[in-house]
Amino acid sequence: MSIQKAVLPVAGLGTRFLPATKAQPKEMLPIVDKPLVQYAVEEASRSGIKSIVFVIGAGKDSILHHFQQDSDLEQVLAEKGKDDLVALVQSVADLVNKRAYVYQWDPKGLGDAIRQAHREVGEKPFAVLLPDDVIDSEVPCIKQMMDVHAGYNASVIAIQEVARDAVSSYGIIQGELETGSEWNGRVFRIKDMFEKPKPADAPSNLAIIGRYILTPGIFSELGETARGAGGEIQLTDALRRLLAKEPIYGYVFEGTRYEAGDKLVFLQATVELALKRDDLGKPFREYLKALKLG
């Protein structure tokens, strides 16, 4: 069954980027000239997913407006002869054929955010993309995972090797490598998973990152999941419950991930993605070479 809908949880407070996020959503912070949330929507769109469920919170209406058509702005740009900008603005609205907005008034964690999307998602497998994770890849990360899902007909979680001393910042899987598959040693049958374990207790250094293909069975498990780490409803805890009933696979995706919720990585992403741009790459590279760092 193909994946038709994607859930984007965008209700977080963005406290790590205060004061910039005091009056605007963290997801609207731009890397070069596109907000974080647009990178995630573009990834879904490039993967063939045109129906997006945004889980938003108070003060996040600018996300809603960003993906809506703005006839007034288009008219002003057209009158000034800026047809290229008209096309650019229209292309953002065209990324999504169908959009739904669900409010998470009480930020009780990622698991709760996904649970709020149940009515809009229905009883079919769906994708989840966390805009904090910007993934630069030739084949969109979520499309890679959709292919794995089609092969196994099960939930798929994106995973990545991290430094052993960093495992306490992630959900970590315990898994068994699937041999003989077409994914060249990138797929693991998950046996268990642990939310932010101490390095000494972690079963591996394979970390869960912000891309998921989930079966609808996750909704009933989220409904039975109590608050866990940080007093929040943890998706990892619900996935452990689901694991007792159906298989879940971890997939080591191809591409470069930027955890843009981290200030330093946000800056790195800005530099590296700007250098890849046809319009900015060459002059920006020359500027960087000319800097006297020291």
Contacts of 16 (CB under 8 A, 6+ apart): 26, 261, 262, 263
**What pLDDT, on a 0 to 100 scale, did the predictor assign at position 228?**
64
The reply to whether 213 falls in a domain is yes
Please provide the distance, in angstroms rounded to a whole number, between the alpha carbons at the two ends of the chain: 55
The first and second tokens of residue 79, run together, are 């009158």
**What pLDDT, on a 0 to 100 scale, did the predictor assign at position 47?**
95
Q: What is the pTM of this model?
A: 0.93
The reply to whether 170 falls in a domain is yes
> What are the mean pLDDT values of the chain's consecutive 10-residue runs (294 residues total)?
90 85 90 95 94 88 87 92 92 88 83 92 96 96 96 96 92 90 89 90 94 96 76 84 95 95 94 95 93 74
Separation CA 133–CA 207 (nearest Å): 13
Helices 141-152 and 36-46, axial angle in degrees (round to 10) = 40
Encode burial over 227-248: b for 16+ CB neighbours within 10 A, e otherwise.
Answer: ebeeebbbbbbbbbebbeeeeb
**What pLDDT, on a 0 to 100 scale, did the predictor assign at position 293?**
72
Helical segments of the chain, H only? 36-46, 61-66, 71-79, 83-93, 110-116, 118-121, 141-152, 217-223, 235-243, 263-275, 281-290
The reply to whether 42 falls in a domain is yes
The reply to whether 267 falls in a domain is no
Q: What does the chain come to in residues?
A: 294
User: Residue 43, CB half-sphere, CA atoms under 13 Å: how many?
Assistant: 33
CA angle, 240 then 238 then 49, to 5°? 110
**What pLDDT, on a 0 to 100 scale, did the predictor assign at position 231?**
66
Separation CA 148–CA 143 (nearest Å): 9
**Number of folded domains that form the chain:** 1
Indicate the helix (H) or strand (E) that contains 261: none
* Range of the structural domain that residue 255 is part of: 5-261
The reply to whether 270 falls in a domain is no
**What pLDDT, on a 0 to 100 scale, did the predictor assign at position 229?**
65
The reply to whether 282 falls in a domain is no
Separation CA 41–CA 8 (nearest Å): 8
The reply to whether 283 falls in a domain is no
Separation CA 132–CA 209 (nearest Å): 10
The reply to whether 33 falls in a domain is yes
Dihedral sign, Cα of residue 89, residue 94, residue 96, residue 101: positive
User: Residue 42, CB half-sphere, CA atoms under 13 Å: how many?
Assistant: 15
Give residue for tokens 């994770």. Answer: 133
Decide: 218 and 190 in contact? Cβ < 8 Å: no
**What pLDDT, on a 0 to 100 scale, did the predictor assign at position 227?**
67
Decide: 54 and 100 in contact? Cβ < 8 Å: yes
Helices 71-79 and 83-93, axial angle in degrees (round to 10) = 160
The first and second tokens of residue 98, run together, are 């169908």
Separation CA 211–CA 205 (nearest Å): 17
**What pLDDT, on a 0 to 100 scale, did the predictor assign at position 1?**
58
Q: What is the CATH number of the domain that holds 256?
A: 3.90.550.10
